Structure 1
Amino acid sequence: MSHVILRLSRRSTILGLSLLPLAGYAQAYPAKPVSVVIPYSAGGTTDIVARLIAQSLAASTGKTFVAENKGGGSTTIATGAVAKAAPDGYTLLANEMTQTIIPWLFPKLSFDPIKDLLPVTVFAEAPYVLVVNSGVPAKNLRELVDLAKAQPGKLNFASGGAGSGPHIAGELLKTVAGVDMTHVPYKGSGPAVADLLGGQVDVLITAAPTVTAQMGSGRMRPLAVAHPRRLSSLPDVPTAAEAGFPDFRIANWFGLAAPKGTPAEVVAYLHAEVQKVLQRADVRDKLLAAGAEPVSMTPAEAARHVNTEARRWGELVRKAQIRLD
């Protein structure tokens, strides 16, 4: 019996010693500011929710998390910068659905947007909303489709850049409704919203948080939610299915990703801390108020989600023969 106890004791000692480096690393990280790179200019949906999470992580951990906007290149500038950064947990990407689109639109990138990034978590989802500037005569999605069919190519739709979620959403509408609209890309949804409000563009299809705060301005009109259910934040806005277009369904998702090779303990730490802040009522309320639904995904679940999204949008890009402007 004493021999068995000794053997178990040695095993426990070895296990304990093996965990010491991990415990030490976890206690030390982060020892300096963590940069959360946002692949768009300020003001868009990704900027809104990424800043909220970065600020909440800073408050919760007592460490420094800095939100950094790096727009342009249809998110490839920021995505590439993070993919090529040191895999030490100090440079993170505020990733979203565009990460799963750009591989199909930029086949000659010097990095792989899927394989060179390690998902940490997906923490929120925001169904897309189709809005028009107040000068567009359409009062609902059906009227907009009829208007577009009567004037092929005359109506335009804005996006946060070629290959961005709003771009794909516009192409999805063109495909399912059989209409022709002109794409106008911007360096982020913030500038796109500004020009929609100013009347320079007609249509914007984007995640709800981007436009929720502007709904009462009188300068934009929501026509439909591209989701099977109406949003609690926009209960009077009908779904695309209600207008007769059930296949017009798209929702953005928001998460964090790190460079491939980032230590598993760092990924686990970040995932756990995000889950903690999502339990806070104020964080959840702010996400819900903006039109984003809190979700919880482990790193493995987030990886599966990214791969599924990549396949879905790759199929749309090929089917619709989407090309960069």
Structure 2
Amino acid sequence: MIPSFRAGRCALLAIAMALPLVAFSQAPAYPARPVSIVVPYSPGGTTDFVARVAATYLGAATKATFIVENRPGASGTIAMAYVAKAAPDGQVLYMNEMTSTAVGALIPKLSFDPDKDFIPIAILAETPYVLVVNEKLPVRTLADLIAYARANPGKLSYGSGGVGSGPHLAGELFKSLAQVDIRHVPYKGSGPALQDLLGGQIDVLVTAAPTVASLAGKLRPLAVAKPKRLGILPDVPAAPEAGLPDFVVSNWFGLAAPRGTPDKIIQTISAAADQALKNPEAVQKLVTGGAEPLYMGPEDARRKVASETAKWSALVKSAGIKNDN
């Protein structure tokens, strides 16, 4: 009886030791349920567009469901706060972009830390900016505009989609680099700013290149805020050619997760993003919508976000930009 008893004990022990392995092997693979990509703006904009393309092809890459959840308002902080407080399990992601990196400097008192409460996962695409002027303005080049602005301080105006928006930051960067005095006129969105530029109510706008390309002949583009020329605007000089090599502004779009999200999940999403951007259909959709595919993995994305945060936070402080929300 004793050998039989011992054999029974050994069998039970073996089963007990195997249980954790069985439980682990049966753990649900990520993602276990639909993943939300939270966008800080209303549907229809470029950020929302990139998020929807990402959702479609991340879903295809992971054989899972990704959905877009729009939470607009308060310079993007409503969406950021929501994601920052979400469970760090990869089920709620944030659609990160250029203006998100200026939030900490723009709004000092927040319920979350923009730098510490998010983990960059990947960069997916970008849309370079272009400086355009009303065609009736007596300037033909960026050098002409700078000379005219210096000769007429405070006379010219530039528009934006609101305080802290991409066009606002871009306009202030131009002012700082060119050392000119141009008035800022904020609008409730870039659409109204563009309409007033066409109508002559404002003189200058720094906005996404696709918008400018579609209005050829109605506005005068003077410079692409990028080191190289763009294929959709081949006749417009790049910033270095125009005389302002540091005038580099490109809205970029990426994914971020709440702090504490396991590295395995970060790597899974990043790999899926890489796979998605190798899909010709995804690339074509982004290009057609005016966004240039640009993949960066977690490490490069973190460096990108840190660099952009330092750049735009310094500009917000030096320009004395105050949030109006």
Q: TM-score range by the shorter chain?
A: 0.7 to 0.9
Partner of residue 221, structure 1? 220
Instruction: Decide which moves more: 94-103 or 136-145.
Output: 136-145
Residues 58 and 276, structure 2, Cα contact 8 Å, conserved in 1:
yes
**Pairwise CA distance, 1:108:** 1.2
Please give the residue correspondences for 1:303-314 in structure 2 after superposition, counting only pairs within 5 Å.
303-314=302-313
Deviations 1:196-248 (A, max 9, x none): 44555432213324x156234x4333221011110122211112222222222
SS in 1 for 2:29: helix
Distance 2:322 2:256 in 1: 27
Inter-partner Cα distance in structure 2 for 1:92 and 1:186? 29
TM-score norm. by structure 2 comes to 0.82
Match of 1:55 in 2: 56
The count of aligned residue pairs is 308
Q: Is residue 91–residue 258 contact of structure 1 (8 Å, CA) maintained in 2?
A: yes
For residues 135-154 of structure 1, what are the alpha-carbon distances to aligned partners after superposition, in whole Å with 9 as ceiling and x for unaligned?
54433322332333343333
Inter-CA distance 43–223: structure 2 relative to 1 (3 Å threshold)? farther
Specify the alignment match of 1:268 in structure 2: 267
- Seen in structure 2, the aligned counterparts of structure 1 residues 279 and 299 have a Cα distance that, compared at 3 Å, is same
TM-aligned CA distance change 1:128 to 1:213, over 3 Å? closer
What's the counterpart of residue 316 of structure 1? 315
Pairing 1:148–2:152 present: no
Q: CA deviation at 1:188?
A: 4.3
Paired residues for 1:90-129 under 5 Å:
90-129=91-130
Match of 2:24 among 20, 23, 33: 20
Mark the CA change 1:54 to 1:315 in structure 2 (over 3 Å): closer, same or farther.
same
Conserved? CA contact 1:176–1:248, under 8 Å: yes
TM-score normalized with structure 1 length: 0.82
Q: 1:62 to 1:136 in 2, by over 3 A?
A: farther
Change (3 A) 1:37 1:134: farther
Return 5+ residue gaps in structure 2 as ranges.
1-13
Q: Distance in 1 between matches of 2:218 and 2:179?
A: 27
Change (3 A) 1:262 1:166: same
- State the Cα distance separating 1:290 from its structure 2 match: 4.7
Larger Rg: 2
Look up the match of 1:3. Answer: none
CA RMSD of aligned residues (A): 2.9
Alignment partners' CA distance in 2, 1:129 and 1:140:
13
Q: Secondary structure at the match of 1:75?
A: helix
| 1:55–1:227 distance in 2 versus 1, CA, 3 Å | same
